Amino acid sequence: MTKRKADQMVKRLKARGFEATVYEGYSGRCMFGDKTWAVTTDAHPSEAGSRDLRSDNMGLGFVYY
């Protein structure tokens, strides 16, 4: 994910009442040490509208990258 796409997603999620922040340098499952921009939020994948992104569960929230 690019920083611009992450910023846009945070703006969109906050407008819908969700908590969301940009996460710099995220390295998710099966990324083998690669890092990318990501968004952490309390929005479930069905609510986040992120069909083209990968997601992971982060305890009480989610990360999209």
| 2 has a pLDDT exceeding 90 | yes
pTM for the predicted model, two decimal places: 0.85
Residue 45 confidence (pLDDT): 83
Residue 45's closest CA among 59, 57, 31, 36? Answer: 57
* Annotated domain spans of the chain: 3-64
CA distance 16 to 37: 21
